[in-house]
Amino acid sequence: MSKTALLFAGQGAQVAGMGKDLAEKFPSAKNWFDRANAALGYDLVNICFEGPEADLTKTENAQPGIFLVSWVAFQLLKEQVPNLKFDATAGLSLGEFTALTAAGAMSFEDGLRVVRARGQFMQEACDATRGGMAAIIGLDEVLTREACAEAGVVLANLNCPGQLVISGEAEKIAKACELAKAKGAKRALPLTVAGAYHSPLMASAQPKLESELAKIKISSPVVPVISNVTAQAHGDATEISVRLVEQVTSSVLWENSMRYLLAQGFTRFIELGPGTALSGFMKRIDKSATMLNVADAASLEATVKILAT
């Protein structure tokens, strides 16, 4: 019996207009968007639908915006496929919160508000430091770690074979890029980001996030949810909170998380939310895995059609 995992998008997937056609075509989607604005007390939905891009890419808007559109995609998929069965969830960075919410570990409103606060805390950490990130293409993990150690930066994302992301002080990132190229990287591309996510430069966000998580009810998930920090299934509610705080400065072990699910017999993965980055990573991890996605009305229709066969 094949098993299905739901995968939830992370920061960087945001695009002005995301979710708009879902709200226009599905009344239930509009209801979720209205609930989100009510929960947050500001018009996040208009920023998602209309931009401008500069506002949407702000961490405090991008994170809850992606959470929201991913959640709506999940709800519409359940609505269109009433017998939808999934056996695990996972999400990239902020997507881990969406994955936990989808698995019943926290309520929609609590998840949304915590993600908004997380984005604010991380933006504050970015503003207080001069951090940057870069994608290292075509260099293995060992040599990338060597370049990081020599430059004084860290490995932030292990996304898939041949695609790693490094994080740290901006001038050190430039040095690490040069070292990576010298070690054989095909490309070392500085990323347009507000700061050094998943690095020690984000540490100031951790106690604030811990305090926010303490205010909400966290339950044990109804299906396994894979932790970015451990690439294993989360434990109880207390452990979930600890791991989510650790995640702010820890490496995102995405490739290992997917390999864990593949080893558990998962063969079908449904990416929920804007973009198809996670589908792209999976093609590099295991081409034999079935990848579906729901980002808009067209991809929802295509995925529903395949699931109905």
CA distances to 160, 205, 242, 245, 300 from 236, in Å: 28, 23, 10, 15, 32
Active-site residue, 250 included: no
- For 63, what's the count of Cα atoms within 13 Å in the CB-facing half-sphere? 24
Is the CB of residue 94 less than 8 Å from the CB of residue 172? no
**Angle ∠(157,153,243) on CA atoms, nearest 5:** 45
Please provide residue 174's backbone torsions phi and psi, each rounded to the nearest 5 degrees.
-60, -40
Is the CB of residue 179 less than 8 Å from the CB of residue 104? no
Q: Is the backbone peptide bond immediately before 52 cis, with ω within 30 degrees of 0?
A: yes
Contact partners, residue 49, CB within 8 Å, separation at least 6: 16, 17, 18, 19, 20, 23
Q: What is the C-alpha separation between 52 and 195, in angstroms, rounded?
A: 20
Tokens linked to 196: 């050094």
Of the candidates 70, 107, 167, 198, the residue annotated as catalytic is 198
Active-site residue, 167 included: no
Q: What is the C-alpha separation between 230 and 82, in angstroms, rounded?
A: 32
SS3 132: strand
Q: What is the C-alpha separation between 248 and 141, in angstroms, rounded?
A: 21
Of the candidates 93, 199, 241, 257, the residue annotated as catalytic is 93
Contact partners, residue 165, CB within 8 Å, separation at least 6: 133, 134, 135, 136, 155, 156, 157, 159, 191
- Active-site residue numbers? 93, 198
